[in-house]
Structure 1
Amino acid sequence: MRALDAVSIITAKRDGGELADEQIDWVIDAYTRGAVADEQMAALAMAIVWRGLDRRETARWTAAMIASGQRMDFTDLPRPTVDKHSTGGVGDKITLPLTPLVAACGAAVPQLSGRGLGHTGGTLDKLEAIPGWQADISVARMRELLADPAIGAVICAAGAGLVPADRKLYALRDVTGTVESVPLLASSIMSKKIAEGTAALVLDVKVGAGAFLPDLADARVLARTMVELGTDAGVRTTALLTDMDAPLGHTAGNALEVAESVEVLAGGGPADVVALTLALAREMVAAAGLDADPAEVLASGRAMDHWRAMIAAQGGDPDAPLPRAAHTETVTAAADGVLTRLDARAVGDAAWRLGAGRARQGDPVQAGAGVVMHAKPGEWVRAGAPLFTLHTDTPEAFERARAALDGATTIDADAGDTPAGPLILDRIG
């Protein structure tokens, strides 16, 4: 029997040792109950950043996190369940058109989503721009909406009883420089997704300037770890590694991204958003064992029907005008040429500074704030033509947003045709 006290567990990992199953179970439970102090768990998290966790430790850590709270069960639903998780990016509005599209293909999609922090946007913040829409619904109501063939999808916040250990540990990691650890990232994501009770899961692991993991090799390790965790837990899990050097679509913000998502559901929208939505939908439909063509379903308008029903079922008005920022300002191109680079992180930082994001959990966000991008990499721009339109209710934020965008673009007058790079970089699972 290994020692079951915080200091022994911290020093064991600090010195490169493996943690026994009973040590992991004890420390997660004790921290959730408050018997292990924040500073002790912070020390252990930092030791894990430096020393890592092996596959067995990571799986046990994930299981202990799940055991800290309730676990949902949707096995009795008349439809197969499948979910998607993105590791976060700039302009990543894919959940909004994807969820009703996959529901229209015949799946039940229990999409537990989060709020934005820093330069990455949050799905719940975007949907809360729709007048009346509510993120918090009961598990019983979730079950009703998932079973309804006209809806079949829910996008909502995780209840307080779902993996409380992760809620507490994530907040601690966010303020102690211990977020960028593959085992801790993987266990945080997968504990919630496994506890959610979905039978199948597709992961969208972002790679590039606007992602948490800019390096493809690191992203592959995270994707493989999460696929292993899901598979070991009996959840059919696959991952796509997707490009996040440039933002997705032409908008980064809340209401701005909702409007662009509705364009996709209506049969239009930016090519990259449509392409990634369909790629993930195909993965989800296959994982759910369904025989449907997402492109055909999208073109038919059935996905839009499910979107409207889903929004209305959570109190929103799908016909209500979306909020608009009180002030706008345009940033223009300095020269003629091909836009060869558009830095996703810079655009995300600008949107955050305009009020679309938050610096700390719990801070308010502006529904109408954000950035509209008038050109994408590979397109020709003219000197003096709009590159960005900045939206905010607080015009004093314009200066800081412009500063974030300084150096965010490269315009090359000598560049020939420069087609965009691949959107899908790899598939694991």
Structure 2
Amino acid sequence: MRMVDIIQAKRDGQELTKEQIDFVIDGYTQGTIPDYQMSAWLMAIYFQNMTPLEISVLTDAMLHSGDVLNLAKIPGIKVDKHSTGGVGDKISIPLAPLVAAAGAKNPMISGRGLGHTGGTLDKLEAIPGFNVDLTEEQFIQQVTTIGTAITSATGNLAPADKKIYALRDVTGTVEAIPLISSSIMSKKLASGTDGLVLDVKTGNGAFMKTEARATELAEALVRIGHQAGIKIVALLTDMSQPLGYAIGNALEIAESIDVLKNKGPADVRELTLTLGAHMLIQAEIAEDLPTARRILENRLADGSALAKFKEMITAQGGDASIVDHPTKMPQANHTIPVLAPKAGVVDQMATDRLGVASMILGGGRQKKGDVVDHAVGLVLHKKIGDKVAHGELLATIYAEEPARPDVVDMVLAAIHIGDNATAPKLIHHIIQ
């Protein structure tokens, strides 16, 4: 069997066999298939798609490219959450300690930045000392004792996905539904979870720009979950503007802390509570969504969710004092104001361009192996539906240089001011 023949078969729209897909995943994992051939295969998939059977086989091959975690030592039902990614999407950071404070066991395998979106692991590494590379033993022990841990797919857990994930980011193949769904579900199934709540983004800041494409992805993910026998639900949520106001690693950690202090942006708080409520139902801690939500609201109000976050930071080697002193995280050297060129109402945002602006500042990766600057990013001061006066502050850029006219221009081009607008609906619909 030759890799070039498999590339050509998929390029020409043929359905690949299990043997062909296994050959590709085994070869790339072992290093016998080079990046350039894998890149060509990923691009062929991007243009030709895959059948449901191919996606199932690909997920299974990636799942079994390494170890599968056995979480039997952790008592109770294990539940997890995954987002398909967006700009300002820091939901996992307040969500994990919140559901753990409510009594759920939440083993969370997370990823790094992909394309214009920020990664949970990159954000957590803005916390001095925070270790996102737990061993299997450390991971199981931490979830058992404090209820949650957020780690990378370390060691030999879905190693094929880890390699492909990095390659997709720099080859323009992030948005392919077969690659997204197999990536997400191979990691989640390998992590041994019993239940999974999916946050599938739709809008100009998501990889799935239209609701139809987002629905297609959500249905593919839910189908894989049902085939694997886990509890699963997908929520289609809005990404026509950033979540919250902060875009950038340390900036988003600070905003997450605000949510855990029972404050923070309304959209981040609402989505955290909604996703968390579904997780509590899967964990059989609550029978219905209103009850689950009340439990979570109480955990925010009584401070136990914030205390759990401190506990999680300490357990993973980080400096928990950043919760009360966020300036202990990396700080940008300069702030640059972005002023409104005219009066009106913010009616549209090119959300992906705001993510790219943060990436160009150093907050994400433009190529494989780039080092992330945790201090830089943007803070918005207006969202869709907000009135703005001429010369009023639209956003603040956090940068290492005193002037970044290129980024100022990008931000101005990404925020459109019109005559009227209403805030978009946060949660579109649910697929089970």
TM-score interval (norm. to shorter): over 0.9
Which of 421, 425, 429 is 2:424 aligned to? 421
Is 2:196 the counterpart of 1:201? yes
- Which of 173, 177, 200 is residue 178 of structure 1 equivalent to? 173
CA drift of 1:7 comes to: 4.1
Q: Across the two proteins, how many residue pairs are aligned to each other? A: 420
Structure 1 residues 41 and 257 mapped into 2: Cα distance closer, same or farther (>3 Å)? closer
Further displaced range: 169-178 or 158-167:
169-178
Question: One-letter code of the match for 1:400?
Answer: D
Structure 1 contact 105–294 (Cα < 8 Å) conserved: yes
1:110: which partner in 2? 107
Provide the C-alpha distance between the structure 1 equivalents of 2:135 and 2:19, rounded to a whole number of angstroms: 33
- What pairs up with 1:27-426 in 2 under 5 angstroms? 27-148=24-145, 151-291=146-286, 292=292, 293-320=295-322, 321-396=328-403, 398-412=404-418, 414-415=419-420, 418-426=421-429
Q: Deviations over 1:373-398 (max 9, x none)?
A: 111111112212211111112335x1
Alignment-mate amino acid for residue 409 of structure 1: I
CA contact (8 A) 2:81 2:108 kept: yes
Letter of the 1:427 partner, please give it: I
Q: For residues 314 and 155 of structure 1, what CA distance do their matches in structure 2 show?
A: 9
Provide the C-alpha distance between the structure 2 equivalents of 1:115 and 1:46, rounded to a whole number of angstroms. 21
| Equivalent position amino acid for 1:428 in 2 | I
Structure 2 length-normalised TM: 0.92
In the TM superposition, what is the alpha-carbon distance from 1:8 to its structure 2 partner?
4.1
* Residue aligned with 1:355, SS: helix
Do the aligned residues in 1 keep the contact of 2:200 with 2:237 (CA within 8 Å)? Answer: yes
Equivalent residues of 1:353, 1:400 under 8 A apart? no
For the residue of structure 2 that corresponds to 1:319, the secondary structure is helix
**SS of residue paired to 1:407:** helix
Give the AA of the match of 2:318: G
The amino acid of 2:305's aligned partner reads: A
Deviations 1:323-353 (A, max 9, x none): 3211111111122222222331222122222
SS in 2 for 1:214: coil
Amino acid paired to 2:402: P
Do the aligned partners of 2:115 and 2:170 also contact (CA within 8 Å) in 1? no
Answer yes or no: is the 8 Å Cα contact 1:70–1:162 preserved in 2: yes
Change (3 A) 1:369 1:40: closer
Q: How big is each residue's C-alpha offset from its partner over 1:392-419, in whole Å with a ceiling of 9 and x where there is no partner?
A: 12335x122112113222223x43xx43
Larger displacement relative to structure 2 (34-43 or 261-270): 34-43
* Displacement of 1:369: 0.9
List per-residue Cα deviations over 1:129-171 (Å, max 9, x = no partner): 11221211111111111111xx211111211311112222333
Counterpart Cα distance in 2 of 1:305 and 1:377: 33
Describe the superposition over 1:210-256 as per-residue Cα deviations: whole angstroms up to 9, x where unpaired: 11111111111111101111121122111111111101111111111
CA distance in 2, matches of 1:319, 1:62: 40
* Conservation of the 8 A alpha-carbon contact between 1:366 and 1:393: no
Partner SS state of residue 347, structure 2: strand
Unaligned runs of 5+ in 1: none
Alignment of 1:9-24 (within 5 A): 9-24=6-21
For the residue of structure 1 that corresponds to 2:320, the secondary structure is coil
CA–CA distance in 1 between the matches of 2:375 and 2:171? 31
Residues in 2 aligned to 1:11 and 1:357: alpha-carbon distance in whole angstroms: 33
2:325 corresponds to: none
Preserved contact between residue 137 and residue 156 of structure 1 (Cα < 8 Å): yes
- Tell me the percent identity: 49
Cα 1:383–1:167 change in 2 (3 A) is same
Separation in 2, partners of 1:12, 1:409:
43
* Alpha-carbon shift at residue 22 of structure 1 (Å): 2.6
Which AA in structure 1 matches 2:242? Answer: P
Q: Is 1:116–1:357's contact at 8 Å kept on the other side of the alignment?
A: yes
Q: CA deviation at 1:44?
A: 3.1
Tell me how far 1:118 sits from its aligned partner. 4.0
Query: 1:428 & 1:156 partners in 2: Cα distance?
Result: 27
For the residues of structure 1 that align with 2:300 and 2:38, how far apart are their CA atoms?
A: 47
CA contact (8 A) 2:153 2:162 kept: no
Does structure 2 conserve the Cα–Cα contact (< 8 Å) formed by 1:208 and 1:245?
yes
Q: In structure 1, how many angstroms separate the alpha carbons of the residues matched to 2:254 and 2:188? A: 28
Q: How has the CA–CA distance of structure 1 residues 48 and 300 changed in structure 2, closer, same or farther, with 3 Å as cutoff? A: same
| CA distance 1:224–1:364, shift in 2 (3 Å) | same
Cα distance in 1 between the residues matched to 2:185 and 2:112 = 17
CA distance, structure 1, for counterparts of residue 271 and residue 310 of structure 2? 21
| TM-score normalised over the length of structure 1 | 0.93
Q: CA deviation at 1:420?
A: 1.0
Instruction: Please say if residues 373 and 387 of structure 1, whose CA atoms lie closer than 8 Å, have aligned partners that are also in contact.
Output: yes
> How far has the Cα of 1:275 moved from its partner?
0.6
Q: CA deviation at 1:299?
A: 2.0
Is contact 1:84–1:201 with CA below 8 Å preserved after alignment?
yes
The more displaced of 172-181 and 343-352 is 172-181
Specify the SS of the correspondent of 1:395: coil
In structure 1, the partner of 2:289 is none
